[in-house]
């Protein structure tokens, strides 16, 4: 009985996550790939555990030439994990310590190494839509596979940042690399 309930619960979480329809928040249907990527970023906030923080906000930072800002603005001001969601653009290392998620678009591939060094040893979830991002030291790569948007996880990058992914997120990943902590 317990196992059956657990399986049903996990199936519901997986379906909600895959459809990117956060429960109870009344978001509109996701229509474009950029909207879908924005929804993934917001959902990652729910499925990753950060070290204890006294911040009253949770911030998604967008580096460089992003295409997600307009779609993330629809989520700004919402409450996630008891904290208000903020979205901001960044172009350099200043104020990156305020970012819980740092999105680096595939158009910035030449600067991945530099940007990742800026957030070294900080509890920042680094995400990109470049397929090679997780292989180059980023935490999560959003990838197009089998006709849909999926994600790869680099556990080594998450461990270095002091972040813990929930087991549901690990099961939904297309690929997980690196050693568990």
Q: Where are the domains of the chain?
A: 31-177
pLDDT of residue 176: 95
Given a cut of 90, whether residue 59 has pLDDT beyond it is yes
Q: What is the pLDDT of residue 95?
A: 83
- Is the per-residue pLDDT at 19 higher than 60? no
Give the single-character DSSP code of 25. S
Q: What is the pLDDT of residue 13?
A: 43
Give 117-176 as a DSSP string.
HHTTTS--EEEES-TTTGGGT-SEEEEEETTEEEEEEEHHHHHHTT-EE-HHHHHH-SEE
- Residue 15 has a pLDDT of 40
Report the run of H or E that residue 16 belongs to, with start and end.
Answer: helix 2-19
Please tell me which of 8-22, 48-62, 130-144 the model is most confident about, judged by mean pLDDT.
130-144
Q: 49 - beta bridge partners?
A: 164
Task: Give the pLDDT confidence score for residue 115 in this predicted structure.
Answer: 96
Residue 163 has pLDDT above 90, yes or no: yes
59 or 9, higher pLDDT: 59
pTM here is: 0.81
Q: What percent of the chain has pLDDT over 90?
A: 66
Look at residue 10 in the predicted model and tell me its pLDDT.
41
Average pLDDT, integer, range 167-171: 94
Largest CA distance in the chain: 53
pLDDT in tens, 83-118: 999 999 999 998 898 899 999 999 999 999 999 999
Of the CATH numbers 3.40.50.2300, 3.40.50.300, 3.30.420.10, 3.40.50.920, which one belongs to the domain with range 31-177?
A: 3.40.50.2300
Task: Please give the pLDDT value at position 39.
Answer: 95
pLDDT for res 11: 43
**CA 125 to centroid of chain Cα atoms:** 7
């Amino acid at each position: 009985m317990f196992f059956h309930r657990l399986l049903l619960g996990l199936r519901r979480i997986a379906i909600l996550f895959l459809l990117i329809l956060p429960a109870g928040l009344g978001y509109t249907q996701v229509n474009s790939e950029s909207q879908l990527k924005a929804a993934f970023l917001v959902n990652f906030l729910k499925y990753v555990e950060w070290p204890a923080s006294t911040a009253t906000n949770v911030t998604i930072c967008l580096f460089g030439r992003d295409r997600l800002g307009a779609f993330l603005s629809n989520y700004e001001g919402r409450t996630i994990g008891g904290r208000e969601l903020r979205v901001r653009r960044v172009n350099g290392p200043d104020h990156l310590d305020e970012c819980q998620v740092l999105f680096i678009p595939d158009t910035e591939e030449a600067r991945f190494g530099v940007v990742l060094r800026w957030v070294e040893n900080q509890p920042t979830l680094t995400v990109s839509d470049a397929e090679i991002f997780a292989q180059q030291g980023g935490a999560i790569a959003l990838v197009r596979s089998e006709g849909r948007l999926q994600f790869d996880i680099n556990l080594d990058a998450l461990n270095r940042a002091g972040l813990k992914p929930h087991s549901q997120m690990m099961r939904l990943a297309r690929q997980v690399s690196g050693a568990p902590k």
